Structure 1
Amino acid sequence: VITAPDNRIIGEGWHRVYGGPHAEVNAIASVKAEDEHLLPLSTIYVSLEPCSHYGKTPPCSKLIIEKKIRRVVVGMGDPFKEVCGRGIKMLREAGIEVVENVLEKECLALNRRFVTAHTLRRPFIQLKWAQSADNFIGAFSPSGYPCPVSLSNPLSLVEMHRERSLADAILIGTDTVISDNPTLTTRLWPGNSPRPVLFASDRIPAHSAVMARNPIILDPSKSLEENLSDLYSIHKITSLMVEGGAKTLKAFINASLFDEIRVETAPIVISHGIPAPTIPTGLATLIKDREIRGNNIRCYKP
């Protein structure tokens, strides 16, 4: 956001798409011609330190200097190794006033996927499942095979698709592919569908819906940690939703490989089925607890 000396907002912008102009560029471009003369007297507020290097786009710090913007208020520093304080240093060396760490906690929460990926060199990991009131995530058919049960209600399902739209990729286990044949799209919410991620298995039918969506296949000879590192370094995945099934979710929980857990509990009793994962005492902290039309949504962090 860019404000003039009279505190009137004259520009706003955000990073709309990967590889496209950053927030600062879009904010400056949004300033009307009749207000451009105010830029040298203005303040620009950014949630993340302006970049200082040539990557997909030119450095934002250079543009701010060229426009002679008087003051920059930064929510948080950029942990990316190519920036990491260099943007702020560049601005100050050009004589621009910089105020750091304003609403830093809120900005860290806003940028948590980006921060996690660039500091831990693996995607931000959100584990997600829906369970019955008696702690089952699925049922068994009369013939004894696992079968899906609809546990989300229409509104909570829309919210879950919104969560999907925030992830670069979505991982499910082989049994879930076979029993549910999910599409893993964001058909109920605008935005990109996350790219499917699967464990290599000759049991996955070639006609499965996810096979038509160019899935990333994990290397069975590598550890879970190594595969996650590859998702980041090779496939440029910075956020991963892990949606099931029970074995896959338990593997991540047992390895303490998660940054967020979202559990939806429906007022439905299954009596006999596939047990939901459990979160060991002391492993995670409850951060949100709310209801969506009778379904309880709990979110945890490590």
Structure 2
Amino acid sequence: MQILRAQSDAILVGTGTALADNPTLRPRLEGATNPLRIVMGKRAVPANFNLNDGASETIYVKSHEIGELLAELDKHKLNQVLIEAGPTLGSALLKAGVIDEVVIYQAPIALGAGSSWLEDIGITTLASAQKLELISSEICGSDIKSRYRVGNR
């Protein structure tokens, strides 16, 4: 995950994730530069949260409109954006057709509760399902990292 962060122009989270996790969104790698941080949503993030620590620029897109996010990405000439969002924003971006790849880390633990990585995106049949093509799969310590190309775009 830290390599993905270091390779990205920006890292995007929703305000729900920002408020729940108080993330730094910085790669924990020696010599890595901090990517731009983008927070999307209408709720305010407190000034004392990590996203406001000055370690790198943080842009706030105070909207739920994907078009406004895309305009902000274009304005800053951002190409590779890592989305570390929860199911609400992640699902909205997938449904809007603006995600190229999905990376899933699977840990060998069973929780039995909690939210899914994906919410209802309005697909009700297998024929209309969002296709994901496996690009690579690797073992990372005790986790499995699977990388998929998003189809049907």
State the TM-score, normalized to the length of structure 2.
Answer: 0.81
- Root-mean-square deviation (CA, aligned residues, Å) is 2.1
For the residue of structure 1 that corresponds to 2:44, the secondary structure is coil
Q: Quick one: distance in 1 between partners of 2:42 and 2:78?
A: 22
Matched residue, 2:60 = 217
1:170 aligns with 2:11: yes
- Contact 1:219–1:227 under 8 Å retained in 2: no
- Contact 1:260–1:300 under 8 Å retained in 2: yes
Deviation by residue 1:211-267 (Cα, 9 ceiling, x = unmatched): 2233111142x73134213312x2122221100112111111111211111000001
For the residue of structure 2 that corresponds to 1:244, the secondary structure is coil
Deviation at 1:276, TM superposition (A): 2.2
Residues 255, 189 of structure 1: alpha-carbon distance in 2 compared, 3 angstrom cutoff: farther
Deviation at 1:269, TM superposition (A): 0.8
Q: Quick one: distance in 2 between partners of 1:287 and 1:202?
A: 36
> RCO (CA 8 Å, sep 6+): is it higher in 1 or 2?
2
Matched residue, 2:77 = 236
Matches for 1:85-124 after TM superposition, within 5 Å = none
Kindly, what percent of the aligned residue pairs are identical? 28
Q: Quick one: distance in 1 between partners of 2:23 and 2:109?
A: 22
- Contact 2:136–2:146 under 8 Å retained in 1: yes
- Contact 1:161–1:189 under 8 Å retained in 2: no
Matched residue, 1:297 = 145
More helix by share: 1
Q: Quick one: distance in 1 between partners of 2:28 and 2:142?
A: 23
Residues 245, 282 of structure 1: alpha-carbon distance in 2 compared, 3 angstrom cutoff: closer
1:245 aligns with 2:93: no
